[in-house]
Amino acid sequence: MRQIQLRAIPAQACSVLLGGQNCQVTVYQKSTGLFLDLLVNHEPVAMAVLCRDRVRLIREAYSGFIGDLAFVDTQGREDPTYTGFGGRFQLMYLEASDL
């Protein structure tokens, strides 16, 4: 597993190499929860996925994404919010061998 660093701000995007894939991860807080978009090589893989604690975000092998992403609450079992980024809520990349 590998942590993807996020800042405690309500909307952000980062580019990161995951499993040899050029990825852009965007996370954004709405009144209904925290959402994630994932693009690989500028092509959408998962859009507007609702983020829950310890629930894999991609889950679909047919998407072609190698591995998966999940948020982990390090202090309990709450769903993530941006105010806990950089501490309590961590976005983790799960390599194919972790699944």
Show pLDDT as tens, one digit a residue, over the chain (99 residues): 899 999 999 999 999 999 999 999 999 999 999 999 999 999 999 999 999 999 999 988 778 899 999 999 999 999 999 999 999 999 999 987 776
pTM reported for the whole predicted model: 0.93
Other residues' Cβ atoms within 10 Å of the Cβ of residue 47: 11
Contact 60, 49 (CB under 8 A): no
Give me 94's structure tokens. Answer: 């799960």
